[in-house]
Each structure stands twice: as structure tokens, then as C-alpha cells.
């Protein structure tokens, strides 16, 4: 196939990879429907994909991965910066010279018997001043089809790239060469000890080997959009964040744009697709996972969703928990490690209906209520089962979500999962205080936490697994961005939807009712409501948080909003111990904010 570009750097890189990996053929992807359909038909014919019932789930397909390849592999994910200090204490560092030597040996001949696909893709609307171009080389047609949904794959990308444009090289292989006559398996991958997901931040380079699953293989996802982009953003003066983006519109038509960062299991996707319960207030989705933000000529921070689709966790998604997410994957979607029902639809735990009969993610017969030989419930879908769906199919997608200029951010929200101590909502006293809040965002450890002695699990800005450089330097970058924006910086808030009473019951109903908290934030931005100052930040005055129609007792509301200075003082030692990890690189503003909080609590 003749290469559809004259970009010398790109052509040289493709030739270098082809020589090293020795595929049977090279195909340049164009992002067309016919290309997608052709690859899907090939995978159905080979037995790696199942075509779902066209009436129940139009143009949708199910895949089951190898049981060894079901999620991100954190201990095989590396930041290969020049020094360990540059990677920082939150990253898995490895020497880049040694790693390249190891991986080149693995890549040699790794695509034998397979097709090498070259995927030109744009993270963000093609041509946007906030977007970036990536080129992924892969030997997995499953990856190509997922990239069609998750990114903007098109010949137009190469046109924008031109003859001398810059791109981010992303090399991926499942690591399973085929000898002549050797039959392929439905999900080729390498054993765990040969899996590597490597990031070279000084070179803006991604190398992935051995896994065909999710963010290990869809290299536009966490690898490029966060680990590499976060470092590029630091160097170039913008922000790449693990944040949802939504638009809230009040009854007068005023638009507010909100970006929010939450650790896992804190309701991030639910908030991104929120259905407001407040009459006259409306919410629209712009992105559910990642925000790229640049200061534009108006002096404000503008954000785009660099992705084109949703790569959502399936189990637990239902009409009750997130009807918009469920509607988004009603057609034209890819399902991985779900149950395929006997009717030819998909099913997972807590989807909201029973599965009378079907095949589980391991290919075994399944029905709801099945028990194993020890009497334990059998899970039909893997806990990390996923759906890949076009964002354009979300019923509440913002009409101009692809505006290349992005949307101006009014509000940042951070949060964690806390059953005590942290109130429902509080606002930062300043940008510096807000950065401190985001940097010390924490959840209570689960019963399965490895370190049972740890009181809190800190996940700064929900970026702990995804920041591509030293997190202390990342905090410093946040402080610098705030200084550049001055009084045009977004306001910062912290929420906790998960507080419980002494009987262990949730104090706040959550889900759509969270719109009430967002409404208060918007009113704070407009100066429509005052706030009361507390040691931890600014909080709603009595009567200012809209509770009309909610059945919350005065005692429960008081507990929701309670700031117990003693409990916060107990938390200070956890914060101080956590910040010690960063040593001398920790920005002085963090220490100042910790001491200021200590004084306010006294």
C-alpha cells in the first residue's frame, strides 16, 4: 500500500518499525466505515468477535479477552525518564536505555504472520489549537476498531500533519507472532512477564508490548492523553487532566462549564452524564474522563475533551445508576468481557434485569443466580468488563462538544470517598488553597487495601496512576497556571457524596440530586449567594443549598455539613506523612497551606 503522506519523519519511523517487527503486510488506516466493517467481519469470521443481535444491539460486537489480559497492569507500566527523581515517588521508574534494549528484543519479529496497521488519529477536534496528533502502529484489528470509536481516525489527520508536522509515536504489539500455518487464537497476547507499557516522556514516545486490553493497547487513552500529555502540558504551559467536563445551564440560559476529578468509585461518569432534578436547570456532557486545557486569548482556561468515545466500566451501569451511559452503548458499540445472552444481546451484573441464559466472559454457560461448587455467586461479566461507545450517541451530549476552541472553565471540583469528616461541599479560600485540596484528595481504604495501616488513600487530582512526571513538579505546575490566570482562574470546590450517619446510612441521596450542589457552585461564581467561612473553606449558608423536595432531616443536614475540627486535626498527620514522600521537590505553597489549615483548626 502506498503511504498517504510525505512526512519524512513519519515515513522513516514506519519503515523502522516494519523492519524491526517484520509483519506480512502494512496497512494505513483511513477511519472509514468500510474499513471498520471489513475488520469487524474478519474478526467475526475468525471467531474472535461475536456479532450481536441486530435488532437488540445494532452494529455491535462482543469480545472476550484472555483471562490473563483483563485490565491495566500497573506493575508493568513504566515511566522511563532520564532519572528516577524526574519520575517521582508515585511512578514506576525504569532506566530508558535498558528498557529500550529489552523491548527492542521483544519487538524483533513480533508481527510475523500479522498485518501492521498505521493509525493516524487526533486527540481533540482535528485542527483544534488544543488538539494533538498521534500515530499508533499496532498488529491488532481489535485495537484499530476501538481507536475508530475512541479517537478521530481520518485521512484529514495526515493533511493537518503535513510534510513536517509533529506527532506522538505510539507503538503497540500483542506480542504473538504466527509461524506459517499456525492457527491464531481469539485473543492473542504475551504472558505477564513479557508485558510492558512504557512511556518515554523526554521523547514523547509510547511503546506497548504484550497486552491487547484497554489502555494498555488503545494508546490514545491514558498513555497519550495523560501520562505523555501531562508532561507535554508542563513543558508547553497547558494542562492535561483526568477530569470530566460538563455544561450546566440555568433557567435564564446562562452556561457554566465544570471540570471535575475523582478517584475510582466516586461517581465520575455518573456526574458527567448527570440528569438535573432542579426545575429549569439542565446538564450536558462534554467529556467523561479527560480534559485538555489551554489559556486562550481571552485569558481564561478553555477545555476540550480529547477523546471521541466512552470506554466505560460495564458492571453496575444501569437505567437506575446511569441511564445516559446505557443509552450511549445501545448501538455501534464494542463490548469486552461481558455476558452474551442466548438472544444475542449483552448483559452484566446490576444491569437491571436477569439473564435467563447465555455465555459468560470465559465462554462458559451462564444464567443469573448461578453458584459455584462452594455455593458462591458466579460472576458472568468480568468486574472490569467494558463498553466502547461513540460519545456522539450520548443523549445529553453538548451540541458543541467538538468546538475546536473548547469551553471556558468556570469551576474545578475535587472529591474523594469519605464516610466521615469531610462535608458535602466546601469552596477553596484561594487558588493556592484549592490546589492543596486537589493535591490532598483522598478516600478511605477498602477492606482489600494492601496496606491496612494506611488511614487514607491519597490520589492527587485523581492523577496518581497517570501523571507522567514527578507529582511534586505537577503540583508546582498547578500553582504556576493559577498565577498566569490570576482573577480569571476557575473557582475550586471539594465534594463528598459519601458521608454516612452513625447507623451507616448515606446522608446524601447522590445521583441526580448532586445537581443541587452544582447549582450552589454556579451561584457562588455569579455572586448570587454569600458563604460562611469555616476552617476548611467556604460553605453554604443555611437555606442557600436548594433542598426543595428532598426528605433530609435537619439533624442529617447538620451532620452532612459538619466540620469537626478534632477529626480534621487527626487527618493532618496523614497529610504530612504523605507529603514527605516528595522531599525537597515539594512546592513551598503546599507546606504553607498545610500550616495555614493547622492554624485555622486550632
Q: Which positions are catalytic?
A: 266
Rg for the chain (alpha carbons), in Å? 24
Helix (H, G, I), strand (E, B) or coil at 199: strand
Q: CA distances (Å), 252 to each of 248, 256, 285, 399, in order?
A: 11, 12, 19, 18
Contact 267, 510 (CB under 8 A): yes
The 3-state DSSP class for residue 482 equals helix
Q: Decide if 212 contacts 69 (C-beta within 8 A).
A: yes
Spatial CB neighbours of 41, under 8 Å, sequence gap ≥ 6: none
Say how many C-beta atoms besides its own lie within 10 A of residue 77's C-beta: 24
DSSP characters over 40-93 = HHHHHHHTS-EEPPTTTSTT-EEE---TT-SS--GGGEEE--SSHHHH-TTS-B
Count other Cβ atoms within 10 Å, centred on residue 528: 11
Helix (H, G, I), strand (E, B) or coil at 500: strand
Element (H or E) spanning 585, and its range? none
Cα dihedral 579, 479, 499, 543, rounded to 10, equals 150
| Number of alpha carbons in the 13 Å side-chain half-sphere of residue 16 | 9
Whole-angstrom distance, CA of residue 544 vs CA of residue 583: 42
Q: How far apart are CA 251 and CA 8, in angstroms?
A: 54
**How many Å apart are CA 189 and CA 48, to the nearest integer?**
13
Amino acid at each position: 500500500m502506498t503511504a498517504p503522506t510525505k512526512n519524512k519523519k513519519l515515513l522513516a519511523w514506519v519503515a523502522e518499525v516494519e523492519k524491526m517487527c517484520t509483519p506480512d503486510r502494512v496497512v494505513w488506516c483511513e477511519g472509514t466505515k468500510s474499513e471498520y466493517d471489513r475488520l469487524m467481519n474478519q474478526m467475526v469470521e475468525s471467531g474472535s468477535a461475536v456479532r450481536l443481535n441486530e435488532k437488540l444491539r445494532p452494529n455491535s460486537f462482543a469480545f472476550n479477552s484472555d483471562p490473563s489480559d483483563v485490565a491495566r497492569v500497573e506493575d508493568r507500566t513504566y515511566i522511563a525518564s532520564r532519572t528516577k527523581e524526574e519520575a517521582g515517588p508515585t511512578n514506576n521508574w525504569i532506566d530508558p536505555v535498558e528498557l529500550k534494549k529489552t523491548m527492542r528484543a521483544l519487538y524483533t519479529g513480533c508481527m510475523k504472520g500479522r498485518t501492521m496497521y498505521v493509525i493516524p488519529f487526533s486527540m481533540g477536534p482535528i485542527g483544534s489549537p488544543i488538539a494533538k496528533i498521534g500515530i499508533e502502529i499496532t498488529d491488532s484489528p481489535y485495537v484499530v476498531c476501538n481507536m475508530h470509536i475512541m479517537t478521530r481516525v481520518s485521512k484529514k489527520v495526515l493533511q493537518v500533519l503535513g510534510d513536517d508536522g509533529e506527532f506522538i509515536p505510539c507503538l503497540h504489539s500483542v506480542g504473538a507472532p504466527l509461524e506459517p500455518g499456525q492457527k491464531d487464537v481469539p485473543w492473542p497476547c504475551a504472558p505477564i512477564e513479557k508485558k510492558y507499557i512504557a512511556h518515554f516522556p523526554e521523547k514523547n514516545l509510547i511503546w506497548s508490548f504484550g497486552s491487547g486490553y484497554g489502555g494498555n493497547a488503545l494508546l490514545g487513552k491514558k498513555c497519550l492523553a495523560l501520562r505523555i500529555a501531562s508532561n507535554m502540558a508542563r513543558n508547553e504551559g497547558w494542562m492535561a487532566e483526568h477530569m470530566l467536563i460538563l455544561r450546566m445551564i440555568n433557567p435564564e440560559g446562562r452556561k457554566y462549564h465544570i471540570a471535575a476529578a475523582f478517584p475510582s468509585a466516586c461517581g465520575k461518569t455518573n456526574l458527567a452524564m448527570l440528569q438535573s432534578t432542579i426545575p429549569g436547570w439542565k446538564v450536558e456532557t462534554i467529556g467523561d474522563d479527560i480534559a485538555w486545557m489551554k489559556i486562550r486569548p481571552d485569558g481564561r482556561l478553555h477545555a476540550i475533551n480529547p477523546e471521541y468515545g466512552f470506554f466505560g466500566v460495564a458492571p453496575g451501569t444501569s437505567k437506575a445508576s446511569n441511564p445516559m451511559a446505557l443509552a450511549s452503548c445501545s448501538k455501534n458499540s464494542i463490548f469486552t468481557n461481558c455476558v452474551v445472552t442466548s438472544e444475542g444481546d449483552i448483559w452484566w451484573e446490576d444491569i437491571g434485569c436477569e439473564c435467563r441464559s447465555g455465555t459468560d466472559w470465559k465462554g462458559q454457560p451462564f444464567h443469573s443466580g448461578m453458584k459455584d461448587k462452594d455455593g458462591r455467586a458466579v460472576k458472568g461479566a468480568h468486574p472490569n468488563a467494558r463498553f466502547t461507545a461513540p460519545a456522539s450517541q450520548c443523549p445529553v451530549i453538548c451540541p458543541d462538544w467538538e468546538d475546536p476552541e473548547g469551553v471556558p472553565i468556570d469551576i474545578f471540583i475535587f472529591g474523594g470517598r469519605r464516610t466521615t469528616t469531610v462535608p458535602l461541599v466546601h469552596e477553596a479560600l484561594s487558588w493556592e488553597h484549592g490546589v492543596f485540596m486537589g493535591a490532598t484528595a483522598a478516600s478511605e481504604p477498602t477492606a482489600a487495601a494492601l496496606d491496612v495501616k494506611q488511614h487514607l488513600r491519597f490520589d492527587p487530582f485523581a492523577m496518581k496512576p497517570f501523571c507522567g512526571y514527578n507529582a511534586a513538579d505537577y503540583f508546582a505546575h498547578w500553582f504556576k497556571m493559577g498565577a498566569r490566570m490570576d482573577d480569571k482562574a476557575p473557582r475550586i470546590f471539594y465534594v463528598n457524596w459519601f458521608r454516612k450517619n452513625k447507623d451507616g446510612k448515606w446522608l446524601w441521596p447522590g445521583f441526580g440530586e448532586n445537581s443541587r450542589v452544582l447549582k450552589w457552585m454556579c451561584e457562588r461564581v455569579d455572586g448570587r449567594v454569600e458563604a460562611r467561612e469555616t476552617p476548611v473553606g467556604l460553605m453554604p449558608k443555611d437555606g442557600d443549598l436548594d433542598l426543595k423536595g428532598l426528605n433530609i432531616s435537619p439533624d442529617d443536614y447538620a451532620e452532612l455539613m459538619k466540620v469537626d475540627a478534632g477529626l480534621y486535626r487527626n487527618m493532618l498527620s496523614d497529610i504530612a506523612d504523605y507529603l514527605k514522600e516528595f522531599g525537597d521537590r515539594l512546592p513551598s505553597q503546599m507546606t504553607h497551606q498545610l500550616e495555614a489549615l493547622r492554624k485555622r483548626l486550632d
